[in-house]
């Protein structure tokens, strides 16, 4: 998956796709973003986005309650 927010200065735009998307059907959607604080997909904001997601998900935990996977049961 790839998400990029750009501000185009002309009507033509070229996207560099990651190798895992080459040869696959992809969907491209373009719409305007009104939020001036919208983040772009680059290394300088990646750390900030990760920190924000960690802060938002801090209260969420998962407890499996001692559950153990039973391979024999899964194959039945």
Q: What percent of the chain has pLDDT over 90?
A: 8
pLDDT grade, residue 46 (50/70/90)?
Answer: confident
Predicted pLDDT at 30: 87
pLDDT score, position 43:
55
The predicted-structure confidence for 28-45, as pLDDT tens digits, reads as follows 888 888 765 655 555 557
Q: Quick check: 39 and 49 in contact, CB under 8 A?
A: yes
User: Is-contact 41 4, C-beta < 8 A?
Assistant: yes
Q: How far is CA 1 from CA 26, 43, 50, in A?
A: 9, 16, 17
Question: Can you tell me the mean pLDDT for 44-68?
Answer: 83
Task: Give residue 42's pLDDT.
Answer: 56
How far apart are alpha carbons 31 and 29 in whole angstroms? 7
């Amino acid at each position: 998956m790839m998400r990029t927010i750009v501000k185009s200065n002309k009507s033509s735009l070229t996207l560099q796709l990651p190798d895992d998307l080459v040869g696959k059907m992809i969907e491209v959607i373009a719409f305007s973003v009104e939020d001036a604080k919208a983040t772009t997909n680059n290394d300088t904001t990646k750390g900030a986005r990760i920190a924000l997601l960690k802060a938002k998900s801090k209260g969420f935990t998962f407890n499996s309650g001692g559950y153990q996977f039973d391979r024999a049961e899964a194959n039945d």
